[in-house]
Structure 1
Amino acid sequence: MSGSGRRRRRWLTGTTTRAEKARAVRGLASLSGLAGLLVALMLIPTACTAGVGARDAARWFQNAPEGLEGLGVPQRSTILAADGSKLATFFYQNRVNVDLDDIAPIMREAVVAIEDSRFYEHGALDTEGTLRALAANLSSGDVEQGGSGITQQYVKNLLLVQAESDAERTAATEVTLARKIRELRYAVAIEERLSKDEILRRYLNIAYFGDGAYGVEAASRHYFSKHASELDLGEAALLAGVIRYPHAYNPVEHPEMARERRDVVLDRMAELGRVDPAEAAKARERPVELKLEEVDNGCVSSDAPFFCDYVQREILTDKVFGETAKERERLLKRGGLTIHTTLDPKAQRAAQRAVERFVPPKNDAHLAAAEAMVEPGTGHIKAMVVGREMGDDTRRGKTWINFAADASHGSSIGMQAGSTFKAFTLAAALDEGMPFGTRLMAPRTYTPTGFRNCDGERVGDPNAVLRNNADGEGGRPFSLVTGTRNSVNTFFLALEKEVGLCDTVEMAEELGLKQADGKPLEQYPSFTLGSNPVSPLRLAAAYAAFGARGEYCEPVAITKVVDASGKKLDVPDAECRQAMDEGVADGVSHVLRGVLTDGTAAGMGIGRPAAGKTGTVDDFSAAWFAGYTPDLASAVWVGDPRGGYEHPMTSVCLDGRCYGAVYGATLPAPIWQQSMRGALQGTEATPFQRPPGHFFSKGSGLDRVDIPDVRGMDLGDALDRLRSAGFKVSFGDRMPSRYPRGTVAEMSPGPGSAEPGTTITVRVSDGPEEEDDPGGDDPGGAPTLPPGFTPPPDAGGTPEPNGPAGD
């Protein structure tokens, strides 16, 4: 078939012939005042295919389309740190709306000159342009000229950016007369409601300028690194020329074509008298000079990528930002939001440096670290760091998982928290009025029986044997102070039983603790040893409550959200509340301060009042440190993401530093120390408050007690007396003395005072030196013990290895 035959078949639609359309065009030419309506009537057959009856065509065309007022233009959203610095941008289309006054007048002139020179003279339809384009299209048998004015182009772009499905996008771009009618309907309605300046402003904000830049402001920033208000003649002409074919005239990809198009615009502006011909000629002589500014979409390139991801997930998951997931995503990527956050760049940098110093992202041991910082009394998240780059998990040193946050905000299922949970048992004990000097026996092993959960059910395995790990010791009594400082597992199991498992769990829940997957905390005797998997963020927020004297606040990342129109949106609230008595919190801080001075993290102080707790999970599968001041709280985790039990942290080397085993004080505490020092630099130190006096009713918990003088006492009675006073006993060689044979001849240390649990060495008397030995006993033999008496175990033994959980 010939080309003319193909064209003829292409133009035959129903009973409407090419000749009939030509006659309609001639009719339009004679009725220019009613051009818009007549064009619609002329195209009734096509309109009918869209479901519009010929009889109602004119009325349908003149009525304003539904939903016109609700049509908005997608704009990019920006996340800001607390100091106003930019953290990230999100967009469906990279666009920044601006007012007409913020667009250089020469830019407005350039666009009107090249796109619609009679824009301010005609209505919704430029009759001359439309007739000219229609005649050309009918004669060629194809759509070769658009003939659309700025208003119609604005409508076309508007319908396109509003399209969310493939069908809607196809309808918005298909080359059909039905689409043209729909655009004209919108154009008529818009011209009736908006001024020409407002239509031009909207058009300049919606038009695509190539290379990912939507709207004149984004284009100006992208190509020239300046605002649209600062554009000069040559730059304005270049951008105005791009609009017709953004891909072909992209000055980055096709600089020569872009320059040629720019010169066409300059000539047109001179021809219309919009610019002096001499100025246009001078602008033509200059080369195209770009100063590109890239805008990243999303969190990967952010200075705080995992905090950014947390904020993104907050908006995408919290119903305060929309009832459905689709609404929330639309708001974030199209709503032009300005999202003000809690992040402190100084704290973020300090935490990032500390984490990467001790656990480099690409370390050979495959370890990772995470830290979260929370402000006491507000719940504001000040820093959030994962010691790996954000990216493909299959690549070394990268991960998509936010180990610092819960599953709802970063896909992490959490990690067992170790002995950091002992702080909640301590808090429960103090809440029940136990003084610091309360002492409990900490056996070397512990069988967890007699525990009940909050439903009153018995929990615990009578066949289980729990031990102290290498950081603690057992076999003697400890006070709340010494048991905490030394992180003695069996002491805390005994304390948890004394307080009640349910009371301990409820204290943790009052402080916002839950499993990282969102489930309630599991209630087993090992609760106090940190068997529940949690996130650093939740743990930091709980410890922040101690620093805030018992006031717990839900961790929050967003302080304010403003949409594109300047309207403030609701944001999640910290819901601060008094979770425990102020005095109880002060008591916890008093005890935990000793961990940094004389306990498992001795030497990890930060030069101001601070408190904290180490945590080493059993088999060295993970290590933690959680600590705080009244101004800032932080929790640090270190472990192997591949699985801590399969890859325990023993015999590991990191950046030239090797460790036989990693405890809470080995890596997490130094990370905490360095990051807290950096974050609080320049901040005046706030002191802790002294605990209420009743906590000292049994002494400070470190008070020395009198050592009973048992010299001359029968050995069995002496042992009972020393043990009841809280001391341990060992035996030295027998010796002659003035005391009767078989009694205590000497004790070391002697009568005086010592801390409970001190070992007292006793020597049994052989009687006076000059006394004959009728029985011929060997004076160097073992002491004579009471029948059936078993000596207590020696205090100097080595702690049992591989305790269940704790420090």
Structure 2
Amino acid sequence: MVRRVRLVYAEPVLADAQDDAEDGSTGLWRAAEAGRPAGADRARVIRGLGGLSVLAGVLVALVALPAMCLTGVGARDAAHWFQSEPEDLDTAGVPQRSRILAADGSTIATFYYENRIDVRIDQVAPIARRAVLAIEDSRFYEHGALDAQGTLRALVSNLDSGQVTQGGSGITQQYVKNLLLTTSQSTEEQRAAKEVTAARKVRELRYAAALERRYSKDEIFARYLNIAYFGGGAYGIEAASRYFFSKSAARLNLPEAALLAGVIRYPYAYDPERRPGAAKDRRDTVIRRMAQLGWITRAEESAALRRPLGLRVHRTPSGCVTSTAPFFCDYVQREILTDPVFGATAKEREKLLKRGGLTIRTTLDRRTQKAAQRAVDRHVPRKNSARKAAAEALVEPGTGEIKGMAVDRRLGSDKERGKTWINFAADASHGSSIGMQAGSTFKAFTLAAALEDDMPFGTRLMAPRAFTPSGFRDCEGRPLKSSERLRNSADGEGGKRFSLVTGTHHSVNTFFLVLEREVGLCETVKMAERLGMRQADGKPMEQYPSFTLGFNQVSPLRLAAAYATFGARGRHCEPIAIKQITDPAGKRLKVPSANCRQVLDKGVADAVNHVLRGVLTKGTARGMGLGRPAAGKTGTVDNFSAAWFAGYTPDLAAAVWVGDPRGGYRHPMTSLCMDGRCYGPVFGATIPAPIWRDSMVGALAGRPASGFHRPPSHYFSKGSGEDRVELPDVRGLEVAEAIAKLRSAGFRARIGAAVESGEYPRGRVAEMSPGPGRAEPGGTVTLRPSKGDDAAPPRTPEPSGPPGPGGPGGPQLPIPTIPPVQRPAD
């Protein structure tokens, strides 16, 4: 018979404490080695071990002895069970932190439940490895899963005292304990991992034996170093080294390594920040132990003991609040938390982000983001006196990549002025914003629908001073009636005819209402949808005659992506923020696609670009050019409740919103004064366009300028669509001189067949078509040179002045000799 032994585990309550560390049992080991008299029961137990052939079986039988006696399980059965491979041993699933990276690889934000960075054993300084081994398990590379020598000594002591006072656990067993606790998925599993029972201890020993068979010593040691808690929210030696010393574990020196090694046993008791005295004493214990083992010299020991702690704490916050691109970061976070591609449930997706150790490479361009944030903050300061807000989204044409996203707020509770959780630049699914009315920026969709219907630039329509909608049908064919009289904005234009070009440049409301009726409301709506537009809440856009005036609530991001389609010559891409995601093993995860496709004929897009370029040179946003080919459209919402500008080059598109988060209709911008600067009524060109210009100039600085393509010629069949100007009379001039004069007046020229003329010398312009008078700029004038006699005097234009010198009836002045002008290159 064997005396029953009551197992009382002298373990700390803290789950992270390494209770069985070598140094913690040194005094007890020495007591056993000193030859303390053993009782008869102890002797009987040890003699009973002689019949076992496997040392592991002996040890587990001894450890599990009380439980086995109670259940009737034999020692040989226990040994067989102990050596079998556990089916429930899973070493995966250890939480690791995820990082969101910009396009250049720099870190935007970090997410974690446990701040952990896994490293290989060769990425930890050798001195740090020796420090941990010295204080935790100096014989780790000499024994197996169970340290026979240490465990037998512990058992002798435990049996003699009648309770478990020593552990003797090595690094492998400590790793197992941490692994079981870290990978617990429920409260029950966590309780089981920490319970003070013989069953838990036996299970840990069995798992340790299995791990020793499965992995090399170096791999087990690396896993231990990566899972252990070091305090300060740092899990694993790499995160701990970066937290306490702002350096990687590969660069740790002796005092730093000893401090971290000493912390492992009781991270809270030896916390270097809160208990520096205790931490230093513990560090010195490790240093002395290393010298005792002969792993450092006495001189190194003495020098290290004199060193201060030398902390350089660097905290790594979790989440987007402190990010340099907080709203873009929040967009990426919501992308992962809401898209089923990252998990079937919200809980699974959150677990993947905060435990999965993901490397999330994004589309964010640091230069673009910096330029956008600077522009937004400059024109609408974060804590401005008028409490207005601004948001901008920037998208790359042809790829859909979001290059920047700026809001003039900090990410946080709106209870604190200058902060908000709402991302005004994004849809509700990615920022909680319900969107904002986009105003006249929607006129571009009506323009695109008209051009797709092959309507020439010179098509002219009467724009009444007021417009009562009639003759409209939605996409279901239902007639839409309204008694509301729609008028033009404060510029007062109306009551005359406009072309597609001039109506767009001046953003005439009633012109676009007439144009929308001409091309069809449904065609306009479908054009916007093809370009990716939908309401910010995800619902389809509402269809009313005032659709072209932009009453639907949308986000800057959607609008920027739509205008990017024009810049990409009709190729639309869904906006994307994530380019690639890899897990800790380097495996790529599936990410949302931009789903790029041609939704608009290239020629139609070229025509849209041609018209919208004039908005920046002669329209509502004149003076807002970039010094390179660019196009755009202003937007002023009814009652000045908000203002927009959307613009683009072939390389970058952006949309800017300025308004009041408290409600634009309750707080309109009719006479805005902000931080000592007054604007009066705010149009799209007042604040949004300057934000756009400053952002684009900064983002594109140093990049070669890309140009737009010339629209197909049939769009010029009714002229350029520009307002008529004076066409100069070039008859009698040398051909090259005539061409230069026409070009300077905004016209194009071509050379026709020569004609008989007795009025003009050979080679001079005899006829021009159309003739002198008022014409649309950009039109083509055909010049026909004379076949006449070289001696014939050239004709000079009839003077319009009164009689006198040089006038009718006055003296004839000699004709000056003008050197020939070379024809300029096309």
Please name the residue that 2:416 is paired with. 395
In structure 2, the residue matched to 1:42 is: 65
Q: CA separation in 2, counterparts of 1:565 and 1:653? A: 56
How far off its partner does 1:601 sit? 1.0
Matched position secondary structure for 2:656: strand
For the residue of structure 2 that corresponds to 1:624, the secondary structure is strand
RMSD: 2.7
> Whose RCO is larger (CA < 8 A, sep 6+)?
1
1:584 alignment counterpart: 604
In 2 relative to 1, CA 280–703 (structure 1 residues): closer, same or farther, beyond 3 Å? same
Match of residue 164 from structure 1? 185
Change (3 A) 1:138 1:393: farther
Contact 2:117 2:238 in 1 (8 A): yes
Aligned counterpart for 2:477 among listed residues 452, 456, 467: 456
Alignment correspondent of 1:684: 704
8 Å Cα contact 2:60/2:82 also seen in 1: yes
The answer to whether the 8 Å contact 2:503/2:511 transfers is: yes
Q: For the Cα contact (< 8 Å) 1:28–1:39, is it kept in 2? A: no
Matched, 1:291 2:312: yes
Alignment pair present for 1:633 and 2:674? no
Letter in 1 for 2:709: Q
Q: Alpha carbons of 1:91 and 1:272: their partners in 2 closer, same or farther (altered >3 Å)?
A: same
Checking the alignment, whether the CA contact within 8 Å between 1:471 and 1:487 is kept in structure 2 is no
Residue 184 of structure 1: which of 205, 209, 216 is its match? 205
After superposition, residues 451-490 of structure 1 pair within 5 angstroms as: 451-461=472-482, 463-471=483-491, 473-490=493-510
SS class of match (1:130):
helix
Identity of aligned residues (%): 68
Match of 2:691 in 1: 671
Q: Tell me which residue corresponds to 2:123.
A: 102
The one of 395, 406, 426 aligned to 1:385: 406
1:71 deviation in Å? Answer: 2.1
CA change 1:67–1:663 in 2 (3 A) is farther
Asked whether the equivalents of residues 47 and 178 of structure 1 are also in contact (C-alpha less than 8 Å), the reply is no
Residue 642 in 1 paired to residue 662 in 2?
Answer: yes
CA contact (8 A) 1:115 1:150 kept: yes
Deviations 1:330-368 (A, max 9, x none): 221122211111111111111111101110010111111
Aligned pairs (5 A) from 1:421-436: 421-436=442-457
Within a 5 Å distance, the mapping from 1:256-295 to structure 2 comes to 256-295=277-316
- CA drift of 1:148 comes to 1.6
Please point out which of 294, 304, 308 is paired with 2:325.
304
SS, match of residue 534 in structure 2: coil
> TM-score when scaled to structure 1?
0.82
Deviation at 1:319, TM superposition (A): 2.6
- Give, in whole Å, the separation in 2 of the partners of 1:681 and 1:20: 89
Report the equivalent of 1:739: none
TM-superposed CA distance for 1:138, in Å, is: 6.7
Q: For residue 140 of structure 2, what is the aligned residue in structure 1?
A: 119
Distance in 1 (CA, whole Å) between partners of 2:249 and 2:237 is 6
Q: Which residue of 2 aligns with 1:798?
A: none
TM-score when normalising by structure 2: 0.80
Distance 1:313-1:33 versus aligned 2 partners, 3 A rule: closer
The CA distance in 2 between the partners of 1:236 and 1:348, in whole Å, is 39
1:225 aligns with 2:246: yes
Change (3 A) 1:409 1:706: same
Task: Show the 5 A alignment for 1:311-710.
Answer: 311-461=332-482, 463-471=483-491, 473-704=493-724
In the TM superposition, residue 558 of structure 1 has moved relative to its aligned partner by 1.2
Q: Distance in 1 between matches of 2:86 and 2:545?
A: 67
Which residue type is aligned with residue 635 of structure 2? Answer: G
The runs of 5 or more residues in structure 2 that have no matched partner are 10-38, 728-771, 778-826
Counterpart Cα distance in 1 of 2:683 and 2:714: 34
Distance, in Å, in 2 between the alignment partners of 1:27 and 1:493 is 103
Deviation at 1:141, TM superposition (A): 7.5
User: How big is the shift at 1:29?
Assistant: 7.1
Question: Structure 1: which 5+ runs fail to align?
Answer: 1-6, 12-18, 708-750, 757-807
SS in 1 for 2:671: strand
Please identify, of 186-195 and 469-478, the stretch whose mean Cα deviation from structure 2 is larger.
469-478
2:285 & 2:298 partners in 1: Cα distance?
13
Matched position secondary structure for 1:650:
coil
Taking a change above 3 Å as real, the CA distance of residues 36 and 531 of structure 1, as seen in their structure-2 partners, is farther
Distance 1:133 1:290, change over 3 A: same
Amino acid at match of 1:406: D
Q: Distance in 2 between matches of 1:346 and 1:35?
A: 67
| 1:248 pairs with 2:274 | no
Contact 2:97 2:354 in 1 (8 A): yes
- What CA distance in whole angstroms lies between the structure 1 residues aligned with 2:265 and 2:291? 19
Paired residue type of 2:653: A
Contact 1:346 1:678 in 2 (8 A): yes
Aligned residues of 2:535 and 2:553 also touching (Cα < 8 A): yes
1:678 shift after superposition = 0.7
Partner of 1:745: none
CA contact (8 A) 2:171 2:224 kept: yes
Amino acid at match of 2:617: T
Offset of 1:213 from its aligned partner?
Answer: 1.1
Q: CA deviation at 1:320?
A: 2.6
Q: Which amino acid aligns with 1:624?
A: W
In 1, the alpha carbon distance for the partners of 2:442 and 2:47 equals: 86
Q: Following the alignment from structure 1 to structure 2, what is the Cα–Cα distance between the partners of residues 24 and 330?
A: 53
Q: Specify whether residues 138 and 600 from structure 1 end up closer, same or farther in structure 2 by C-alpha distance, changes over 3 A only.
A: farther
